[in-house]
């Protein structure tokens, strides 16, 4: 779970989810109201996590899987991603850019 670099308060799972689901790249700390940014490392982890949800689609292309199973797989994976991703979020007071 992310810890605010400014006030050192750890964000809860619920707070992290709420803060990161806004499309704004600036994440406002719920404790000190300071702007925080997701670290590059954390963004990379997200980039790996998101395609996991599309895995059933790939499986369906290569194997003859009943639609019910594919949809349940989607649902399960979606839940896993939603539950696990706040644990992978890391924040910093300064925004990081690729190549820096």
32 in contact with Zn ion (CB under 5 A) = yes
Of the candidate spans 31-39, 54-62, 71-79, 86-94, the one that interacts with Zn ion by CB under 5 A turns out to be 31-39
Q: What angle do CA 84, 78, 54 make, to 5 degrees?
A: 115
Q: Which is nearer to Zn ion, 32 or 79 (CB)?
A: 32
Q: Does 31 bind Zn ion (CB under 5 A)?
A: yes
Q: Under DSSP, is residue 10 helix (H, G, I), strand (E, B) or coil? A: strand
Size of the site for Zn ion (CB under 5 A): 6
Nearer to Zn ion, 4 or 88 (CB): 4
HSE (side-chain half, CA atoms, 13 Å) at 86: 18
End-to-end distance of the chain based on CA atoms, in angstroms? 24
Give contact residues for Zn ion (rule: CB under 5 A).
4, 6-7, 29, 31-32
């Amino acid at each position: 779970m992310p810890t605010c670099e400014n006030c050192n308060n750890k964000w809860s799972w619920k707070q992290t989810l709420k803060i990161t689901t806004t499309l704004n790249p600036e994440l406002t700390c719920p404790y000190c109201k300071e702007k925080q940014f997701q670290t590059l490392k954390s963004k990379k982890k997200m980039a790996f996590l998101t395609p996991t949800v599309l895995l059933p689609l790939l499986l369906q292309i290569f194997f003859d899987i009943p639609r019910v199973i594919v949809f349940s797989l989607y649902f399960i994976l979606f839940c896993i991603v939603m539950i696990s991703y706040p644990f992978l979020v890391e924040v910093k007071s300064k925004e990081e850019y690729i190549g820096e």
